[in-house]
Amino acid sequence: MDKPLENKGRAVAAAPETGPVEEDTWRNLDRLFHATLGRMTLSLSPAAIALAWLDWLAHLSVSPGKQLLVAQKALRKALRVALYSSRHALDPGTPLCIEPLPQDSRFRDPAWQKPPFNYIQQAFLNYQQWLHNLTTGVRGVQPRHEEIVTFMTRQILDAFSPSNFPWSNPVVLQRTLQEKGMNFFRGYMNWLEDLERRLGNRPPVGAKKFRVGREVAVTPGKVVFRNELMELIQYSPATEKVHAEPLLMVPAWIMKYYILDLSPHNSMVRYLVEQGHTVFMISWKNPTAEDRDLSFDDYRRLGVMAALDVIGDILPGRKVNALGYCLGGTLLSIAAATMARHDDDRLRSITLLATQTDFTEVGEIGLFITPSQLTWLEDVMWSQGYLDISQMTGAFSMLRSNDLIWSAMVQEYLLGERRPLIDLMAWNADGTRLPYRMHSEYLEHLYLNNDLAEGRYEVEGRAISLGDITAPIFTVGTTKDHVAPWRSVYKIHQLARRAEVTFLLTNGGHNAGIVSEPGHPRREHWIHTRKVEDKYVEPELWQALAEHREGSWWPSWQAWLAGQSSGMGKPPALGSKNYPPLEDAPGTYVLQH
């Protein structure tokens, strides 16, 4: 990553003015400057944003037709709002002239339907629509630049929504009159408490109710192996007989593993052991600056492959069902393709949860992955040796700023009401770090260059192909995933052509859609299996072919997983002679901060 660029197509001076050492000095000065500024910009590159705006503005300035069109639209929308306001003054039953988007909950309270607040929100929504027309459809603008301009415009507009200010939010005004301003006092106290916790690097209010190993991550088990990168947990059996094939769970190291073992009522691990599965879990170390040179392949070797070796010693001769979640699923896919290249057939099946293997359609998160942006982010990581969770949270929160930033601000600081913290929110606040080298490789080779899908990703000096995988694959996508959009996850159909692929789509988001235990209200899913000999069908046609089922997706997957079993037998002991139990679950690494 740090090698100087080769000079191609131009003459090179015989005697360079500066040597390598001096060049590194100047380069490091640039990096320090980028890293310092990046801490104030949420690691976003000002250059990337400026290029996008300049591209849009330059093309708009030489597009008189587009200018006249948006001017006409501005006049029409202003007249529409004026006409609605006049009619509503005479007839309160007048329908709105524009409806909020289905996912926009800012103006759902009935108080927003009364004057003058209905006029305010209608003017805002029309202006929002007009700005979208202004920033899109300008001929000649690069698609990525148009997406960045649209995204940044939406962020600015959302910040100035009338729902965010007490004088234009009827709900806040009503509460203020009722409580004689005490809501602002409570909000101010909430703000001070949150600020003090952020400055002290302490968890949010209410997180103490979800202590790891006490209220969450409490499924019984033992740590049976530990190396410099991960601990391997083997969970205690909960049934008299278990399926012959164990299950290895590979979570992402961008998160702590216990999202798969939350509270007892919504723990996937507990559900699986109660269904007769022998479950192993990788618990990743939380890296520090000393781990800056850990590579992506180190996670494969010291994580997935080391875990398979240990499981093979504890349960000799058994094939393994493997599950990967998010980034852990991408790692598992790479490990499986490498194993297939070497005719290593230890995997009985593969389950991928919200996992991308093709990175051409990654949604809005891709706006943060450009050569300019990657350089900026690398310099931030280079200066400290890792990417901190706080530096990731800002970018992810912007993808759903209305829900994760502004709505929370209104509720906690203007209404003075603390949102009740649930186990999933407490887990989300228990962040991890990402090593400098690993994250740089991940972003460059997968997100930026799409090397895995296009056959260029190398392991041990040779390119691998997901097309070599023959083990059955079960893939889960979620309808509201902003991190791994389900149509991107669906691309596994095109890459794993020699494997039978069962694809399941469930409602919910990247995390809440996965943590969807039986009995969870308002859950539904669609499922369909593509045989190896079947033709490819696009996502829209797949939806028409898929079987719709009400309720949690866990039983549907568990039935498929049980179908991969060769029978039932006596539960195995925890650990083995070579790998005796080291300590009780959840182990040590998950407690690192």
> What residues are labeled active site?
326
Buried b (16+ CB within 10 A) or exposed e, 530-553: beeeeeeeebeebeeebeebebbb
Q: What does the alpha-carbon distance between residue 593 and residue 584 come to, in Å, rounded to a whole number?
A: 19
Closest CA to 525 of 538, 502, 507, 537: 507
Which residue, among 194, 342, 161, 326, has the nearest Cα to 260 in the 3D structure?
326
Residue type, 310: V
Q: How many CB atoms lie within 10 A of CB 420?
A: 8
What string of DSSP letters covers 126-160?
Answer: HHHHHHHHHHS--TT--HHHHHHHHHHHHHHHHHT
CA separation, residue 276 to residues 236, 249, 309, 344, 403 (Å):
11, 15, 22, 26, 39
Amino acid letter for position 308: L
Three-state secondary structure of 495-508: HCCCCCEEEEEECC
Secondary structure (DSSP) of 352-383: EES--S--S--GGGGGG-SHHHHHHHHHHHHH
Residue with tokens 């600015």: 156
Q: In 3D, which of 422, 380, 421 has the Cα closest to residue 520?
A: 422
Integer Cα distance of 144 and 228 in angstroms: 40
Coil, strand or helix: which one is 263? Answer: coil
Tokens encoding 385: 């040796």
Q: Which two tokens stand for residue 30?
A: 């640039």
Output Rg (C-alpha) for the chain, integer angstroms: 27
Helix (H) or strand (E) holding 545: helix 539-545
Structure tokens at 272: 């699986």
